[in-house]
Amino acid sequence: MTAAVYPGSFDPVHRGHLDVIERARSIFERVVVGVLDNPQKAYLFSAEERVELLRRSLPPGGDVDVRRFSGLAVRFAAGEGATVIVRGLRQTSDLDSEFQMALMNRRLEPGVHTVFLTTAFANVYLSSSLLKEVFALGGAVDEMVTPEVATALRTRLRAPAAAVPTPG
């Protein structure tokens, strides 16, 4: 069975992440989404909240496991019995840092390979940090996240439901 790990902070999860997860599900027999818990990083949502938001954002009855981890993603992958780390690419500028990380991971765990999946064109501009900033400044993000995440953002940042702009 080919298992893959898709690691990240997912703070919060958005449609770009979900697109990569769906693509990974179509390729690998088992997909584990690893939610990074790094105590040196300031998150909007706790690791437990991010795990729960991911679980609630995935289609019911799916074959994706969501787990919290700390430390090196490549060690988490090896511990899960995965031979693949999935990384999402939005644009070519992502490739430089992702390529360097993939080479380091290969050095640390030669049996774990990195596979890059491009996001759908509709999600190419999405990042969790940009999404949080737009939301905090009153922008509409409901189409970029699941309803569960939109509600969590409104609750955490105490913002009213943003008006969805009308075309024209």
**Residue 133 in this model has a pLDDT that exceeds 60:** yes
* 97 catalytic per annotation: no
Catalytic pick among 15, 17, 25, 132: 17
Q: What mean pLDDT comes out for the span 159-167? A: 48
Q: Which residue in the list 14, 50, 87, 128 is annotated as catalytic?
A: 128
Give the pLDDT band of residue 13 (cuts 50, 70, 90).
Answer: very high
10-24 b/e (C-beta count within 10 Å ≥ 16 → b): bbbbbbbbbbbbbbb
Percent of the chain with pLDDT over 90: 76
What is the rounded average pLDDT of the residues 67-79? 97
pLDDT (average), residues 46-70: 92
17 assigned to active site: yes
Our answer to whether residue 113 is catalytic in this structure is no
Q: What pLDDT, on a 0 to 100 scale, did the predictor assign at position 33? A: 98
pLDDT of res. 163: 47
**Residue 67 bridge partners (DSSP):** 34
Q: What is the pLDDT of residue 35?
A: 98
pLDDT grade, residue 159 (50/70/90)? Answer: low
CATH topology of domain 3-157: Rossmann fold (3.40.50)
pLDDT grade for 123, boundaries at 50, 70 and 90: confident
Asked if the model's pLDDT at residue 76 lies above 50, the reply is yes
Query: So what's the pLDDT on residue 29?
Result: 93
Confidence of residue 28 (pLDDT cuts 50, 70, 90): very high
What residue spans define the domains of the chain?
3-157
- What is the SS3 string spanning the chain? CCEEEEEECCCCCCHHHHHHHHHHHHHCCEEEEEEECCCCCCCCCCHHHHHHHHHHHCCCCCCEEEEEECCCHHHHHHHCCCCEEEEEECCHHHHHHHHHHHHHHHHHCCCCEEEEEECCHHHCCCCHHHHHHHHHCCCCCHHHCCHHHHHHHHHHHCCCCCCCCCCC
Among 41, 93, 107, 158, the one annotated catalytic: 41
CA 34 to chain centre: 9
Q: What is the pTM of this model?
A: 0.89
CB of 8 within 8 A of CB of 47? no
Instruction: Give the pLDDT score at 87.
Output: 96
